[in-house]
Structure 1
Amino acid sequence: MLPSGPYTPTEGEHAIASGLTVRFDGEDGRTLLVDVAKMALPGWHTAVAEALALALGATGRSRTLSSAKGLVTRVRSMLRSLSELPDPPTGPPLLETAHLQSVYNQRRITQKDVYAWRGIALFGQFLTLPPLVDTVNSSVIDYTCRQIGQTRIGQPGYSDGEFDRILSAARSDITALRDRIRLSEAAIGQTGEQEGLEGDKELVAIAESGVVPPSRSFSAHVVRLELASRLYMTIRDLAPMLVLMVALTGRNIETIKELPWEHRILETRAVEVRVIKRRRGNHRWFETATWEIGPPGRELHYPGGLYLLLHELTTRSRNTSGSASVWSIWRSGHNTGLRGIEEHFDPFARELTATAINLAGWRTRHCLHADVVDGTPPAPLAVTGNRIKTTADVRRTKQIGGHLPSAARSNTIPVLFRNYLRGDPTTQEWAHTVVAAAVSDAESSALAAHRRALHVAGGTLNVQPERSATNPHGDTPPTHTDAADTAWSACRDHDHHPATGRSCRASFLDCFHCGNCVITPDHLPGLLGLLDALAARRDQLSEADWWVRYGPTWAAIRHDVLSKFNRSEILAATEIKPTDALLDLVESPWEQT
């Protein structure tokens, strides 16, 4: 089917509407008007406006209102800082590295290096946009690419005790919210079936119209709020709901604020929701999340169950406000002039930070304190969405044994490790425990392999820690004078191996698993040098390959040889141990990787 008549395409809106005003239309449905003329350094305005038009346009990287505001704020702040210099660059061609260095030095007074330089680096990325890239000196852009204080470690998560207290407080508030709304819904249903229940007729009227009637009492705001809270979620209910949603889903709080009301239930066991992940780059925002619902009565412990409960608690308000997301609450309009159904709204529709979530006040109401360290008085617990998500990621990573590909759900593996796991003390302590246990298991396996090989080839290792009385300097072994020296020990019968009865063809590293092996104090310096060489090989091989190739030898020396010598003998041998342990000579070249 073709349209009748000629087709005239609609003219798209220009990024620069008029003069120096840049319009941004985000993919999240939010808009922004940027007046570049109000920024500092007028000589920069035209070039900055054109660069912003590209950055905020359809092909730019800024796709949401929050990212657009962040870019505009950084540009405005940098121009203001440059204008305050004694010799400011009045235009892009006059910008020099000395100007940026001066701004960096000023910001270091109040900010850490990582944050002071981050503003310079991000401004350097903005300078790569035309027409700025054609006018700014290339050495200036190269200067902003330096790595100064770029190591950023995310905030650590909570301890198990702190996290459990946070979850307990959130669940108690949501339980009270659920009970009061369901009780009111039950009362409305009974009023519809039985006439004469005067106490609930007011609730029926509110439910039918969505309008909370005015009050003539002195504290009218409080009275209306209490009345509305019997049927609707209010602003004070947002904090516990957001906290628990982030904790159970492991998603960023921004994603939770934009959850849609549309969903699909999969065989009564899971709920499927299309969520927004803002930090994935261009055109990679949306992904499908599948959350377990859990058994009845346990909705506060499963992400799918909690989402369906949130959907239930906001249904009445959402039907009134027409919200496109799952969020819809009631707010009193006595200060804003809003009346009637206008008091129902999506708190995050205009922008994600439009409604102040009072997490500090919620923490104070529940008396949440951090763990006591070294007997110091308990400090108030700082409750933030980032730390809650970090704790959820840490717990999930520990539950699956540290397998990062399985643990990385809402982030890539590098982002998960760098921003959430690396700086968390709980993760570090757990990782140290896991590594120590793994090394202990590997050592036990290597020692068992050594004992099995020794059992087949003679049963015991001949270690003679004492020198003979007639030969105190140890020029020759005290016994078995017919033993022939090998790389790190002596062999008393090279022509008859205990396991085969024939001439020995084993590696010198296998001598430590043979009953013909004789070790005296003269061999101790060489053995210590061999241990150093084996330790150096750990940097060249994977842990699994190292334990297979050198683990039994290392375990034999550590447990069956060095344990027979006293501390003074080992310290004396350490001073004269050779740096070349002959390890490269006794191994065949084709055995090395």
Structure 2
Amino acid sequence: MVPQQLTATQVDTFLLHRIDAIGAPAAWMEMGVLRRIVQRPPLRDLVSTAVLNYLARRGEKTKKPGAPGYSDGEWTRLVTAARADVAAIRDHIDAGERLLAAWSADPPSLSHADQVVAEQLTRIAATGVVPRLRAEIGLERRARTAVAQRLFVTQADREPLLVLLGAVTGRNPETLKELPAAHRILDDRAVELRVTKRRHGPQRWFDTVTWEIGPPHRALHTPGGLYLLLHRLMARGRAFHAAETASQSVSIWSVWRNARTGGLAGTHEHQDPYAASLSTSINFTQWARRHDLRADPADEQAASQDTPPLLEVRLPRVRTSVEVRRTRAVGGHLPSAARSNTVGVLFANYLRGDPTARDWAEDVLGHAVIDAEQAALAAHHRALQESGRTALRIEPAPTTADHAHEGAWTACSDPDQHPNTGQPCRRMSFLDCFHCGNCLITRSHLPAILALLDDLANRRDQLGETDWWTRYGPAWAAIRSDVLPKFTPAELTAAREATPAEALLELAEDPWEHP
């Protein structure tokens, strides 16, 4: 190959190969060296403008693909565990509220045990203070948490809440941690709120979202229903937190925690866990272990192990999983799948590095190629049948009775009488010969046909798939289906060794600019 033959596609293929081989940072360092070499004379005057434009356009660095999402099995187990925990949180608090209501309306109707609990919860609801409890050393904190969970969302509840919020809303972790308490309900069908899309220091980018509420029994499945549920469950805590800080709370978040500073039993135990920092530690590993969430085995050997590894629970992976599944749901149409980001960000940050998206895309592409190949083969067979044959005529060598006339890649038994018209052949392209009843192919044509196949494959890098299949698909299908199978592997090997350097496709078909 000479510099003039270098294409932008080849440079891009080389870059991707080096990224797979040595990693993105090292590959981009090599790319920088190549860029500096090619941009200097005399190479700059030899390579094509497309290559120079490609090298000038691509930056020195490429962003590392985002964290991969979860497989279908991992996703089901993860979301099921989170939804079960959030349902339990809801049930605990709702049971506590019902007990308070019953105590307020008719105390004697409660059992003695419920009266004791209801009286305690009444004091907590009025003051916001979870009292000190008499318990064995080391168990008081656990006992106080159990009491607080009857009325408040606690610090131990954050993991399932964030996982389910991410799974249902599809928003990034920063947005979830800064969900506002202010909202507007639209016709009891949707909730509208202004969320923080991104936060870089003091700069914030905002976005107004409208989330479906759905019926009450679907509150754990719809973004608006889940938001309103959490808004209600944390309402008491937000009120005490606002009173403690003498400010109006702007965040939906308020959790109760066992205070490690400032002493136990006070309203300061109600707080917005993300007010000071969004990087507040969350123990997803402990939560995954508590539910025994396991990752799918990476291969058959790993599958034979008794215990698969613990599932790595990370909110960015939850977000990626949502984006992948949304993209699959719309058939891969990225403009329809992109909700809170541009198409470029969706692909670069979420789809590009996800194995589930890659496997799905390869499967879709594979089916599309099969469909295109079958359509091209059907077009070839229809054209061949119209010319009076059901298969191409393949002979070891032409006989003297054939009086064959050589074409670009095949021979013609009677160019003066086309089988369809009875008139001299007026073919648009020598590629049409592969669909003609007069076509004759012998062993001597194999080298040129193999060179043609290589040239057709190269054209796929220059034309779009639709144009390529329309222009070359029937001929390619005819060669692959009707010609090559008629020869032995030894004959094909010998022909490959004698393949000419050029297939002369440019000269044997209509000009490229012709419609």
TM tier relative to shorter chain: 0.7 to 0.9
Q: CA deviation at 1:208?
A: 2.5
Match of 1:278 in 2: 198
Q: CA deviation at 1:151?
A: 5.0
C-alpha RMSD over aligned residues: 2.5
Match of 2:355 in 1: 425
Q: Secondary structure at the match of 1:278?
A: strand
Q: Secondary structure at the match of 1:285?
A: strand
Q: CA deviation at 1:519?
A: 1.2
Q: CA deviation at 1:564?
A: 1.5
Q: 1: distance between equivalents of 2:135 and 2:489?
A: 87
User: Alignment partner for residue 574 of structure 1, among 486, 490, 496?
Assistant: 496
User: Alignment partner for residue 448 of structure 2, among 501, 526, 550?
Assistant: 526
User: Where does structure 1 lack aligned partners over 5 or more consecutive residues?
Assistant: 1-111, 119-145, 468-476
Q: 1: distance between equivalents of 2:469 and 2:200?
A: 40
Q: CA deviation at 1:283?
A: 6.7
Tell me, yes or no, if structure 1 residue 180 matches structure 2 residue 92: yes
Q: CA deviation at 1:368?
A: 1.5
Q: CA deviation at 1:460?
A: 3.0
Q: 2: distance between equivalents of 1:262 and 1:336?
A: 30
Match of 1:385 in 2: 315
Match of 1:299 in 2: 219
Q: 2: distance between equivalents of 1:465 and 1:325?
A: 81
- Residue 114 to residue 194, structure 1, CA distance change in 2 (3 Å): farther
Once the two structures are superposed, the pairs formed by residues 78-477 of structure 1 within 5 Å of their partners are: 114=25, 150-196=62-108, 197=110, 198-199=115-116, 200-218=118-136, 219-278=139-198, 285-322=205-242, 323-333=249-259, 335-337=261-263, 339-353=265-279, 355-372=280-297, 373=299, 374=301, 375-376=304-305, 377-467=307-397, 477=398
TM-score (norm 1): 0.70
Once the two structures are superposed, the pairs formed by residues 32-43 of structure 1 within 5 Å of their partners are: none
Q: Report the AA paired with residue 153 of structure 2.
A: M
Q: CA deviation at 1:169?
A: 1.3
User: Alignment partner for residue 460 of structure 2, among 531, 538, 544?
Assistant: 538
User: Where does structure 2 lack aligned partners over 5 or more consecutive residues?
Assistant: 1-22, 30-57, 243-248
Q: 2: distance between equivalents of 1:216 and 1:172?
A: 31
TM-score (norm 2): 0.81
Q: CA deviation at 1:167?
A: 1.0
* Runs of 4 or more above 4 Å deviation: 112-115, 146-151, 279-284
Q: Which has the higher contact order (CA 8 A, sep 6+)?
A: 2
- Number of positions where the alignment pairs a residue of Structure 1 with one of Structure 2: 444
- Residue 266 to residue 452, structure 1, CA distance change in 2 (3 Å): farther
- Residue 461 to residue 398, structure 1, CA distance change in 2 (3 Å): same
Contact 2:159 2:282 in 1 (8 A): yes
- Residue 512 to residue 148, structure 1, CA distance change in 2 (3 Å): closer
Q: Secondary structure at the match of 2:207?
A: strand
Q: CA deviation at 1:148?
A: 6.8
Q: 2: distance between equivalents of 1:590 and 1:240?
A: 60
Query: Cα deviation per residue 1:96-154 (whole Å; 9 max; x = unaligned)?
Result: xxxxxxxxxxxxxxxx9959x99xxxxxxxxxxxxxxxxxxxxxxxxxxx977755222
- Residue 592 to residue 281, structure 1, CA distance change in 2 (3 Å): farther
Percent identical among aligned pairs is 53
Q: 2: distance between equivalents of 1:479 and 1:420?
A: 65
Query: Cα deviation per residue 1:560-592 (whole Å; 9 max; x = unaligned)?
Result: 111221211111111111121121112232546
Q: Report the AA paired with residue 326 of structure 1.
A: I
Q: 1: distance between equivalents of 2:68 and 2:402?
A: 64
Q: CA deviation at 1:332?
A: 2.3
Tell me, yes or no, if structure 1 residue 548 matches structure 2 residue 470: yes
Q: Secondary structure at the match of 1:286?
A: strand
Contact 2:395 2:440 in 1 (8 A): no
Match of 1:584 in 2: 506
Q: 1: distance between equivalents of 2:154 and 2:473?
A: 63
Q: Secondary structure at the match of 2:440?
A: strand
Q: 1: distance between equivalents of 2:370 and 2:328?
A: 19
Match of 1:487 in 2: 408
Q: CA deviation at 1:445?
A: 0.9
- Residue 147 to residue 541, structure 1, CA distance change in 2 (3 Å): closer
